[in-house]
Amino acid sequence: MNGKGRLEHPSGAVYEGDFKDNMFHGAGTYTFPNGAKYIGPFNENKLEGKGEFIDEKGVEWCGVFHHTAAVGLKQKLKT
């Protein structure tokens, strides 16, 4: 699959965004089964680059993601 699309996993996880060679690649949103969400770039199915993570309680975090790590992740303050 190439282009934009949506993938729903039996676990309840959902990916919406860009695909390349059947992988998450480019801009996308991944919603975890618990409701947490990552919004940002993907590279061959891995989180990669500046993105946002919204945890299951709705707390927003931003930072640079690399695979499953986010060095220097900061909580986004609401004004």
Per-residue pLDDT tens for 36-58?
999 999 999 999 999 999 999 99
At 23 the pLDDT is 97
**Which one-letter DSSP state was computed for residue 76?**
P
Number of structural domains the chain divides into: 1
Question: What does the alpha-carbon distance between residue 74 and residue 33 come to, in Å, rounded to a whole number?
Answer: 23
- Given pLDDT bands bounded at 50, 70 and 90, which one contains residue 68? confident
Write down the pTM of the prediction: 0.89
At 73 the pLDDT is 83
Residue with structure tokens 């975090």?
Answer: 61
Structural domain including 57 reads 3-75
Question: What does the alpha-carbon distance between residue 68 and residue 50 come to, in Å, rounded to a whole number?
Answer: 13
Residue 21 backbone dihedrals phi, psi, to 5 degrees: 50, 45
Q: What percent of the chain stands above pLDDT 90?
A: 81
Question: What does the alpha-carbon distance between residue 43 and residue 37 come to, in Å, rounded to a whole number?
Answer: 17
CATH of the domain at 68: 2.20.110
At 18 the pLDDT is 99
At 67 the pLDDT is 84
